[in-house]
Amino acid sequence: MMNELTLFTTALGLSEPWEVVDIKFSKEEGRLDLRIDFVKGAKFTCPSCEGKECEIHDTRERTWRHLNFFQYETYLHARVPRIKCKRGGIKQVEVPWSRAGSGFTLLFEMLVLQLCREMSVSAVAEVVCEQANRIWRVLSHYVEKARRRVDLSTFHILGIDEFSARKGYVYMTSFSDLESSRVIYVGESRRKEVVEEFVGDLKERGKDPEQIDLVCCDMWDPYLNGLGHHIAHAQVVFDRFHIIKLMNKAIEKVRWREQKENSDLKKTRYLWLKNPKNLTAKQEKRLDKLKGLDLKTARAYHIKLALSRFWELKDPVQAAQYLKQWYFWATHSRLKPVIEVAKAIKRYWQGVVSFTLSRITNGVVEGLNSKIKTAMKRAYGFKHMTYLRTIVYLVAGKLSFDYPH
């Protein structure tokens, strides 16, 4: 009949020269301790010596947290050998149940990883009764390892967008593969240097920035300067969402000034900013009444609607001609905020018109930003920006992990 030592040796998946040699169980402490040792005279292979077996130099005592045995915390203890490398030097032997430098077994780390995909790190730490910082380190290791394995061989359309990491104008920048709908890099600023950091990361992963031929972003000069220095060959397309956002801000400025003299405009902000297709019957009726009045805000609104029709045109020549006509109308509107938007479009004309050739948008990035906001809630109370980057990759990076058997 199998004894308890053999049973736990088999359950842990240990093979020669490793075996369980002692078991200590304390119901009062809620703890199970398993001592693992190697058989006398055992030799261990050295990766530096092409798999040749080497003699033991000395041993070091180590402890690892393992999966719970029923409701009891379980710990593995072993004296880990250091071997004399035949090429010189002393090498630490890698044990089969844990990765180098970790205080947890592989199976415990995989449990943590699975829980972190569904729960906040603080909640996982509470469930497994461990410090949150230790859980973050485990998560960071596996997420970065999986991120480095992502296949970017077909990556050629880049989406760039910013998001607010904390209050006080602390911004981060996401770089996304628009075709695969995944975040591939997160930078800790929105300065022009962040593009250089992204390119450096791409090269470290063995990818050539030259493979990027399209970039979709907003009209933020630091991004454009960075792209001009490091991905100058790529065609830049300005996203429709951000251009309409600029136009909406212009409408709000016009309305804000005009409502001081016309009380009919008070509490009408969302009528002018909302997509006409999404208006309720009541909102549509009120907007039609306001549009019938001789209002500056109504003029700005009609200019916005005319601009939005640009992205519906399929023929590049026709679209460019249409935008020229719109520009003339906008710059002669006598509405300063609208004129400023028109001049911004003129300044970045090529990037706006390029949409008619590529038909790409940052719509995918907006969806990923929604996931990033979810990730930020799950990383609530994070102490380091690296922790936030880790959780963003986990939630929006479409990562796959290797799980031990």
Which among 155, 185, 189 has a CA at the least distance from the CA of 169? Answer: 189
Quick check: 139 and 162 in contact, CB under 8 A?
Answer: no
pLDDT recorded at residue 1: 44
Report helix, strand or coil for 180: coil
Contacts of 61 (CB under 8 A, 6+ apart): 77, 78, 79, 80
Terminal Cα distance for the chain, rounded: 26
Please, what's the b/e burial string for 216-227 (b: 16 or more CB within 10 A of its CB; e: otherwise)?
A: bbbbbebbbebb
Q: pLDDT band at residue 80, thresholds of 50, 70 and 90?
A: very high
Report helix, strand or coil for 146: helix
pLDDT recorded at residue 268: 93
pLDDT recorded at residue 382: 62
Here the tokens at position 249 are 């801000």
Q: What is the DSSP string of 294-322?
A: --HHHHHHHHHHHHHGGGG---HHHHHHH
Phi-psi region of 206 (alpha: psi -120 to 50; beta: other; left: phi over 0): left
Here the tokens at position 183 are 């975040």
What value, to the nearest 5°, has the Cα angle with vertex 365 and ends 363 and 366? Answer: 65
Q: With 0-12 CB in 10 A as exposed, 13-18 as middle and 19+ as buried, what is 274?
A: middle
pLDDT recorded at residue 381: 57
pLDDT at residue 172 is higher than 70: yes
pLDDT recorded at residue 359: 86
pLDDT recorded at residue 360: 85
DSSP code, position 347:
H
pLDDT digits (tens, 9 = 90+) for 126-155: 999 999 999 999 999 999 999 999 999 999
Query: Strand ranges (DSSP E) for 226-295?
Result: 235-238
pLDDT recorded at residue 57: 85
Listed by start position, the domains of the chain span 4-145, 157-238+363-396, 240-358
Q: pLDDT band at residue 56, thresholds of 50, 70 and 90?
A: confident
Please state which of the ranges 188-202, 218-232, 349-363, 379-393 shows the lowest mean pLDDT: 379-393
The pTM (predicted TM-score) of the whole model is 0.85
pLDDT at residue 169 is higher than 80: no
pLDDT at residue 404 is higher than 80: no
pLDDT at residue 242 is higher than 60: yes
54 sits in which H/E element: strand 53-54
pLDDT at residue 90 is higher than 80: yes
Average pLDDT over the chain reads 90
Question: Beta strands 235-238 and 214-217: pairing type?
Answer: parallel
Contacts of 112 (CB under 8 A, 6+ apart): 104, 124, 128, 135, 138, 139
pLDDT at residue 47 is higher than 70: no
Q: Which CATH number fits domain 157-238+363-396: 3.40.50.300, 3.10.450.50, 3.30.420.10, 2.60.40.1150?
A: 3.30.420.10
Which among 370, 376, 367 has a CA at the least distance from the CA of 170? Answer: 376
pLDDT digits (tens, 9 = 90+) for 330-384: 999 999 999 999 999 999 999 999 998 888 887 887 788 888 887 777 666 566 7
Mean per-residue pLDDT, 77-88: 85
